[in-house]
């Protein structure tokens, strides 16, 4: 039975409804709509055609696609960068396991999460800061040699994906 008060829909349709509510307008009939949903584990991409405006109805026009590119994958790459920092400063990543269980690691990941939430793709000259002081403090108890973090980032980005 149809209800004017409660309507169930799939996540892509909900994203379209939310977008147009924020925009303050309805989509046009026959408008093509693409939804890119970045979640924790995956990024899902769906393409739709607006076949009705009132009530809003969408028809899928392509097979949904996507991949394991969600925030967990982004976080895993960031942790790999931190591991590379250990390797560069200590000659190995032997102390990394100990670091991963420390409050310094929690502080690093909190700083990373804040940087991700602050990201604005609309800014052409976007830059942010991630606080690595806990890493350096942890390594300061070891005999570390100094390497510029920017050089490590460049080397990490140049390396093939694992």
The pLDDT of residue 73: 93
Average pLDDT over residues 38-61: 90
Question: In 3D, which of 48, 142, 57 has the Cα closest to residue 99?
Answer: 142
Phi, psi of 4 (to 5 degrees): -85, -10
Average pLDDT over residues 55-60: 87
Q: State both tokens at 121.
A: 């793709």
The pLDDT of residue 4: 73
pTM of the model: 0.67
Q: State both tokens at 4.
A: 């004017």
Q: What is the pLDDT of residues 98-152, one digit of tens each?
A: 889 999 999 999 999 999 988 887 888 888 888 888 887 887 765 545 556 677 7
Average pLDDT over residues 12-35: 88
Average pLDDT over residues 25-54: 91
């Amino acid at each position: 039975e149809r209800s004017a008060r409660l309507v169930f829909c799939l996540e892509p349709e909900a994203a379209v409804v939310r977008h147009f509510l924020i925009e303050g307008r309805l989509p046009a009939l026959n408008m093509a709509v693409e939804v890119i949903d970045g979640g924790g584990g995956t990024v899902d991409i769906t393409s739709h055609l607006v076949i009705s405006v009132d009530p809003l109805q969408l028809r899928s026009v392509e097979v949904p696609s996507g991949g394991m590119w969600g925030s967990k994958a982004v976080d895993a790459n960031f942790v790999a960068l931190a591991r590379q920092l250990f390797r560069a400063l200590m000659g190995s990543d032997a102390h990394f396991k100990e670091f991963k269980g420390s409050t310094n690691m929690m502080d690093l990941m909190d700083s990373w999460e804040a940087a991700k939430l602050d990201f604005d793709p609309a800014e052409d000259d976007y830059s942010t800061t991630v606080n690595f002081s806990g890493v350096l403090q942890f390594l300061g108890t070891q005999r570390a040699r100094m390497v510029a973090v920017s050089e490590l980032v460049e080397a990490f980005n140049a390396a093939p994906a694992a």
